[in-house]
Structure 1
Amino acid sequence: MLSIYERIEYLIKQKGITKKSFCEQLSISTGNLGDWKRGKSTPGTHKLIEISAFFHVSLDWLILGKPSPEMVREGAEDYFFDSKGQSNCHSDELLPEEQVFIKEYIAFAEYRKRKAEEDNS
């Protein structure tokens, strides 16, 4: 089974860019990339999200090597938001790790929206 680093390295080669270019485009230090390669550390959640969006692959594939039949496109209307764009879920009903996950997911959705707008302009 391939490691996360090996999947990232595969994607870099498939895209035809250098590791240095990859690091520069995603603000990753070459030292961190080296740590990932040696298994000393792995990318954090936010970085994994950025990498998956950069290469247009699913997080399931990037993290687990699980194939994804198609890229999922999300929109706020698919989730539990009211007309003001606010969650109708009370955050005090969520566990702390669930609150962190929701915040990270919202940041991911905003990133993908910005990226799509940049790609379309």
Structure 2
Amino acid sequence: MLNLGESLKRLRKERNLSQEQLAEMLNVSRQAISKWESNKTYPDIENLILLRNLFNVTLDDLIVNTNKTEAEDTIIPGKLPTDNIADYDKNEEENDPSDNLIIGGFIIGISIGFVTSNFMWGIVGSFIGMGISYILDYIKK
């Protein structure tokens, strides 16, 4: 969850800066700072980088602002647990050869293309690799 406004306000107050002072440092209006702190708008990437440097924090700390215990207890859909990432990658490679078949078909097709001076073989090879991967997926099921 984005907590940029809360983070920005907390960091600004910790350094005893007013919205006006921070605005001057970033060369933006005080209203822009107010909108950022209320999450009505967000700074562009250049201002995010300036804020990161000014407050000496990471972009993740600035934008997400979660403490360790909250981050450990929160499950984010689509996010993998970091301690099992090696196991996930290993299982993914073992169970899904389709990417390798497509790339392999493309490489073989490009090789044939170099020999025959017809580089359409690269595309043909990709489609052959894709077809084989679909056949293997069907057989698995």
Instruction: State TM-score, norm by structure 1.
Output: 0.49
Asked which structure has the greater RCO (Cα within 8 Å, sep 6+), the reply is: 1
TM-score with structure 2 setting the length: 0.43
Which has the larger helix fraction?
2
Query: Whose radius of gyration is greater, 1 or 2?
Result: 2
